[in-house]
Structures are given as C-alpha cells and as structure tokens.
Amino acid sequence: MFALGTIFSNYVLLGLPLARVTLGEPSLPSISLVLVFNALTLWTLATVSVEWARHRSMSWSGYFFAARAVLANPIVASILLGTLWGFFGPRLPDFVDRTLALVSDAAVPMSLIALGMGLAQYGIREGLRIAGAMTALKLAGQPVAVWLIARALSLPPIETQSVVLLATLPVGANVYLMSRQFDTLSGPVASSLVLSTALAAVTTPLALALMGPLP
C-alpha cells in the first residue's frame, strides 16, 4: 500500500481536467491510455501482493476475482467501452452527442468540488511520517523518474509532457479505498491525500514550467 500511494495519481478528478486546460485535446489519447493500463496493472499487482503476503498463495479464482474487480471499475470500463464504440459503433445522433457533451463539461468541475469536500474529513496527524515520505516520493521522486524514462524512450514532446503531468499529481483517492479494503495504512494514506493535494498546487505548475513551452 505504501508503494501504491507513491505512484498512483489522481488521474480522473485532477489529471483529465488539468491536461485539457494546460496541454489541450492532443494530450487526451495519451492520458486515456495511462488511465486504462495504470489501473489495470497497479490494482492487479496490489491485490495479488496483499493476498500473497496474507496467505503465501494465490489461487486461480483469486486472480480471476482480482481481474474482474479491475475491469468492472467504472473508470476502466468506461474507457474500454468508449474505445470499442469509437472503433466499431455507429455515429451518435447530434442531439445525443450534444447532451453527452454537456454532461461531460459539468462532470469535471463537479467532481473537483466533490473531491475537496471529501478531503475535508481527513486529518493529517495520523501516520504523519509515513504520509510525508509517501508525499515526497509521489511529488518529487515519481516525476523525475518518469521524465528520465520518457527521455530514454525518446517520447515526442506532447507525450512526454502528458506522462510527466500525470506523475506530478497528488495521491489518488482510490489508494485510500484500497487501503480500507485491505485494512492497511488507512490513516497515513488519508493524510497523504491531504498533503499531496495541497502541495501539488505548487509542484505541478512548477514541473510544467520546467518542461518548457508546449509543442
């Protein structure tokens, strides 16, 4: 759970709206790919790791239930279904497309308000040292590592800025949900949510500025 907290970002509530505002629509395909494979990979690995640590074994049924839980997640399922519809589905009628666009525009600001209201119930004193370490690794260690990997892979500028932007985001709320599910580090994870969200208001714009102008 500690490792998950240092690498799992708040992609949906903060990543998507920030990418749209700062990097524009060309960044959204890269963001969507990260959303799908990040959740699929990390949630599965975290589930398998916790179950292995508890029981020192993992049955095929355990793998199946872990994979089903990830694929049934609304974030992953909606992106996968939307991608399939884009490739194989018919064109939506104009009135349906406009209605969905209005819902989409309203969902982002409302989700940010809901995130802020939810964080108000968390304190920052419980497990402060662990939470501080998680926050430091999340906001400083991960962005540097992601930038170095992007440079080593020679990613184009827009893809590099997209993945680094995601890496600079605060700890995702889903980490807290998983910590509650497995009853592990719930207090420190909740504290890291508050700390990383507050500090990311400074570190994320700073990282974007250091990467230079948009291509």
Look-up of token digits 């790791």: 49
Total number of residues shown for the chain: 215
Extents of the domains making up the chain:
2-210
Own/partner pairs, 65-68, CB within 8 angstroms, 24+ separation: none
What is the rounded distance in angstroms from the CA atom of residue 57 to the CA atom of residue 50?
10
* Cβ–Cβ < 8 Å for 40, 70: yes
Structural tokens at position 211: 């990467």
Residues paired with 9 in a beta bridge: 171
Collapsing DSSP to helix, strand or coil, 178 comes out as helix
In one letter, which amino acid is 60?
W
Collapsing DSSP to helix, strand or coil, 9 comes out as strand
Widest pairwise Cα distance in the chain: 54
* Cβ–Cβ < 8 Å for 131, 191: yes
Each residue's pLDDT, cut to its tens digit, for the chain (215 residues) gives 898 889 888 887 788 888 888 888 888 888 888 877 887 778 777 777 776 676 666 667 766 766 676 677 666 677 778 778 888 878 888 888 889 888 877 876 777 677 667 666 666 676 788 989 999 999 999 999 999 999 899 888 888 888 898 899 988 877 887 787 777 887 888 888 888 888 988 998 888 888 776 65
In one letter, which amino acid is 35?
L
SS3 content of the chain, % helix, strand, coil (to 5): 80, 0, 20
What is the rounded distance in angstroms from the CA atom of residue 37 to the CA atom of residue 15?
15
What's the pTM value of the predicted model, to 2 decimals? Answer: 0.71
In one letter, which amino acid is 52?
W
Q: What is the pLDDT of residue 214?
A: 61
